Structure 1
Amino acid sequence: MYHFNVILLNIPGTAITSPWKQAGNTHLKRRCIVTLHLGAFSEVVLAEEKRTQKLVAIKCIPKKALEGKETSIENEIAVLHKIKHANIVSLEDIFESKTHLYLVMQLVSGGELFDRIIEKGFYTEKDASKLIQQILDAVKYLHDMGIVHRDLKPENLLYYSMEEDSKIMISDFGLSKIEGAGSVMSTACGTPGYVAPEVLAQKPYSKAVDCWSIGVIAYILLCGYPPFYDENDAKLFEQILKAEYEFDSPYWDDISDSAKDFIVHLMEKDPSVRYTCDQALQHPWIAGDTALDKNIHESVSAQIKKNFAKSKWKQAFNATAVVRHMRRLQLGTSSEGPTSLPSPCRNECSGEKISTPHSAPPTFASKFH
């Protein structure tokens, strides 16, 4: 368990202050090992808690990079503190140094959704149905908590472990929003291919936008390509605004009518009649036995390879590869190999003193990559 001060930025020239008092200094008892991800204004490193040898992911955010982004990171922290679910990557702690803000996250090491599907030799509608059920359970939980993710997409779906029956985890709450009393939002955000028509139309929207995105994900899981695509953004947006998509032959010939019906109810243009998570969880394709057992791996994996390049953020060493390497070395008996990547963030977060609270905040759950 980490027990450190939860802070809110304290960037010179801003009015942001920490709601938690700071008292004393102590060295963080962990060892930063390797960079897992380099983002636009943050770095994620693999770290080991020295006493327990527990591996975690630490998102390191330079305070200089946060100028002008205070609201975004505050929002992400607020969301992460609020949620705890088995299919959502958890936030274990937050602390600061003079130059960085650190989010200590649960380590998710099972790899990306598409990678796992491609690696399988056997993949069916039932497999897709089980994946979507887990996503629906997690998003229903978020919606019940008054939280809208707003950026659900395959890249934000990661496997918890390398086990064959590993659960799926939702990550990346950078665009999430806690609903207010009116339960509608208006900020245009999300990833174009997965965003709901009402968002593109710049109309007020609600948690129904997440259900649309789940429909898009389900579509891709069953055929390997997106329902909307065009090199021209204007034409792509026009397709989405009109909800123009097809179940093309031959890719959908072996897919059940029940699966198609499920998708149609989620990818409904009118958000007022679009399926909610509760309704989707009760659909026969999820709750019943209508999902087929036929192997669709060859077709789906071929289309995934063709239509989805490796995620741009993916580095030479991802969490899966690093954890495998660490296990081979019996968790940290060597600092050579892929664990020796240089990182100013790792150097700083391993050696700096950090502030601790009078009493440790409770542990909450959520995600990040």
Structure 2
Amino acid sequence: MSERLTREYHIGEEIGRGRFGSVFRCYSRDSGEVFAVKSVDKAQLTDALDLDCAEREPKIAHIATAGNPHAVQIHAAYEDDSFIHLVMDLCDGGDLFDRIAARQGAPMGEALAASVMAAIMEALSVCHRRGVAHRDVKPDNVLFDGEGKVRLADFGSAECFGEGTLMSGLVGTPYYVAPEVVAGRDYGEKVDVWSAGVVMYIMLGGIPPFYGETVEEIFESVMRGNLRFPTRIFGGISSAAKDLMRRMICKDVSRRFSADQVLRHPWITSVGSATCVSNLK
């Protein structure tokens, strides 16, 4: 562990593990406040792109998350010869992936799904206004804090964009990645809206809209973009919810909703506003 990190924080037990490192509970030695610290093992970063993303994450995340109530805040960053350490908000209420998996394929009620979606889109709206795209929106990166509040996490794949400046590169997770990313074209922040739409589809239907046995087959399905709502699964889902998903999971980027447009959609404003996310089980 970094000497500066351990001087300022007491490192507690491991509470998570990922592809590039581990997450530990930690405590400020000054205030006693509880945080999480993500320690990224540089030895696991097998190429220059991985290392660049890890080193840029604190800077981009600070731009995107500072004062953003539905994003995990990064409070401090440390680096030594072997690790990059990020001290961030502790979200010990699990993630959306685990909560979806615990339902064993049973769909989530629309009111709860809408409240989760509202929080995700509020986080993305702030990011996009600040010129940052998350680029890896998926249930694993939607966390819950101790009060059940939704927090968008993990800005390791995030990138800055600007007026007339697009992004490039195959970044994201196959089930959730937008078709323009798969096609190798330059793209804008609406890739996050596509991914969030896929998250919404999975919450309401229990299955992804595009799937395959291999990554290649998943990408082929994404590129076809044939969005369907099987009656046996979506028969009880409202027309407003289906309308919003069509507008988010839309191959035509010019017609795809922005984050702000999603937040103004009736399904969000009327269904999601009255539900407390902490009730999500």
User: 1:279 aligns to what SS in structure 2?
Assistant: helix
C-alpha separation in 2, matches of 1:224 and 1:151: 20
TM-score by length of 2: 0.86
Structure 1 position 207 matched with structure 2 position 186: no
Contact 1:193–1:226 (CA<8 Å) still a contact in 2?
A: yes
Per mean C-alpha deviation after superposition, the further-off stretch among 193-202 and 30-39 is 30-39
Query: Deviation of residue 180 (structure 1)?
Result: 3.9
Contact 1:60–1:100 (CA<8 Å) still a contact in 2?
A: yes
Pairing of 1:20-35 with structure 2 (within 5 A): 28-35=7-14
Structure 1 position 155 matched with structure 2 position 137: no
Query: Deviation of residue 289 (structure 1)?
Result: 4.7
Contact 1:113–1:155 (CA<8 Å) still a contact in 2?
A: yes
Aligned to 2:199: 217
What letter is aligned with 1:39?
Answer: G
Query: Deviation of residue 65 (structure 1)?
Result: 4.8
Which of 128, 153, 156 is equivalent to 1:143? 128
Structure 1 position 41 matched with structure 2 position 20: yes
Which of 250, 255, 265 is equivalent to 1:273? 255
Residues 74 and 250 (structure 1), Cα distance of their counterparts in 2 relative to 1, 3 Å cut: same
What letter is aligned with 2:24?
Answer: V
Which of 47, 57, 60 is equivalent to 2:36? 57
Aligned to 1:356: none
Query: Deviation of residue 92 (structure 1)?
Result: 0.6
C-alpha separation in 2, matches of 1:233 and 1:252: 26
Which of 255, 266, 277 is equivalent to 1:284? 266
Residues 27 and 230 (structure 1), Cα distance of their counterparts in 2 relative to 1, 3 Å cut: closer
Q: Which runs of 5+ in 1 are unaligned?
A: 6-24, 294-300, 302-369
Deviations 1:317-341 (A, max 9, x none): xxxxxxxxxxxxxxxxxxxxxxxxx
Q: CA RMSD in A?
A: 2.9
Pairing of 1:199-348 with structure 2 (within 5 A): 199-289=181-271
Q: Which runs of 5+ in 2 are unaligned?
A: 276-280
User: 2:15 aligns to what SS in structure 1?
Assistant: strand
Query: Deviation of residue 214 (structure 1)?
Result: 1.0
What letter is aligned with 1:73?
Answer: A
What letter is aligned with 1:185?
Answer: M
What letter is aligned with 1:81?
Answer: H
Contact 2:110–2:271 (CA<8 Å) still a contact in 1?
A: no
Query: Deviation of residue 212 (structure 1)?
Result: 0.5
C-alpha separation in 2, matches of 1:200 and 1:268: 14
Structure 1 position 174 matched with structure 2 position 156: yes
What letter is aligned with 2:120?
Answer: I
User: 1:288 aligns to what SS in structure 2?
Assistant: helix
Greater RCO (Cα-Cα under 8 Å, separation 6 or more): 1
C-alpha separation in 2, matches of 1:208 and 1:184: 11
Residues 51 and 268 (structure 1), Cα distance of their counterparts in 2 relative to 1, 3 Å cut: same
C-alpha separation in 2, matches of 1:206 and 1:231: 28
What letter is aligned with 1:136?
Answer: M
Query: Deviation of residue 105 (structure 1)?
Result: 1.1
C-alpha separation in 1, matches of 2:32 and 2:181: 44
Per mean C-alpha deviation after superposition, the further-off stretch among 261-270 and 175-184 is 175-184
Residues 94 and 235 (structure 1), Cα distance of their counterparts in 2 relative to 1, 3 Å cut: closer
Deviations 1:169-208 (A, max 9, x none): 1111111001144331121111011011111111111001
Pairing of 1:344-355 with structure 2 (within 5 A): none
C-alpha separation in 2, matches of 1:26 and 1:275: 42
Residues 253 and 27 (structure 1), Cα distance of their counterparts in 2 relative to 1, 3 Å cut: closer
Query: Deviation of residue 266 (structure 1)?
Result: 0.5
Contact 1:256–1:291 (CA<8 Å) still a contact in 2?
A: no
Contact 1:211–1:276 (CA<8 Å) still a contact in 2?
A: yes
Aligned to 1:73: 54
C-alpha separation in 2, matches of 1:146 and 1:261: 27
What letter is aligned with 1:146?
Answer: G
Query: Deviation of residue 50 (structure 1)?
Result: 3.5
What letter is aligned with 1:79?
Answer: I
Contact 1:124–1:292 (CA<8 Å) still a contact in 2?
A: no
Deviations 1:320-366 (A, max 9, x none): xxxxxxxxxxxxxxxxxxxxxxxxxxxxxxxxxxxxxxxxxxxxxxx
Structure 1 position 195 matched with structure 2 position 177: yes
Residues paired across the two proteins, number: 269
C-alpha separation in 2, matches of 1:175 and 1:99: 21
